[in-house]
A = this chain, B = another copy of it.
Amino acid sequence: MRRGRPRSFDRDAALRAATMEFWDRGFEAVSIADLTRAMGVKAPSLYAAFGDKKTLFEEAIESYVREFGGFIDRALEEEPTARRAVARMLHEAASWQTLPGYPRGCMLISAATNCTPQSNEIAQGLVERRNEGIAAVERRIAADVEAGILPSDTDAHALAVYCTVVLHGMAQQARDGVDRATLEIVAHTAMAAWPAETDDIPG
């Protein structure tokens, strides 16, 4: 058995509380005092359990991605075509970005936007995660082009960037107060820009 005095708080619950704070206001705007209050844990216990503020934030990001960000990968994996995957992704984003009782928008986008030099690596990490998201969509699109489902002259990169633009723009609008129903219409509207699939062309 583990020796010494046992931890008196639920580490997972505390991490979830920290994630909500960071999601809501971002890395720099949330102070250690805010975190100890929200997590119900005094500073020394926080540092003992999670390291420093950056490490805690990174763990919060992991937790966020597991719980709220998995829908993108699931859509890309489970749907039969890139088009259906993106359509599902955008519609599910409308829900996730306006969940009642949770912060609006996407933590990967808004949690490290205004950065002092000391948190540049945090911001850089999120940029890489976002760009990896684009790359995943781009690979899915390229696969459909290869398979003849999408026209051979499709610009996979630009189309993937377009999808990401809509996704990130929706997150911004969710933060600004747009409701879920409107975002659903936006998601539907956005799909009208998707190129005609080869099967759609008669003859």
Residues of A within 8 A of B (CB): 25-29, 31, 109-116, 127, 130-131, 155, 157-159, 161-162, 164-170, 172-173, 176-178, 182-183, 185-186, 189-193
Contact = CB atoms under 8 A, between A and B. Distances in A.
A176 B28 contact: no
B176 A165 contact: no
- State how many copies of this chain the complex holds: 2
Contact of A172 (B114, B169, B185, B191): B169
A31 B28 CA distance: 13
A173 B165 contact: yes
Given A25-B114, A26-B113, 13 more contacts: A25-B116, A26-B114, A29-B116, A130-B176, A158-B182, A158-B185, A158-B186, A161-B182, A165-B173, A168-B173, A169-B169, A190-B190, A190-B193
B158 A164 contact: no
Nearest to A109: B172
13 contacts: A26-B114, A29-B114, A109-B172, A112-B114, A113-B114, A131-B177, A157-B182, A158-B186, A165-B169, A165-B190, A168-B173, A169-B172, A172-B172
Contacts of A116: 25, 29, 31
B161 A190 contact: no
B113 A176 contact: no
B115 A29 contact: yes
Contacts of A185: 155, 158, 161-162
Contacts of A110: 113-114
Contacts of A176: 127, 130-131
Contact of A186 (B161, B173, B183): B161
A186 B165 contact: yes
Contacts of A159: 189
Contacts of A29: 28, 114-116
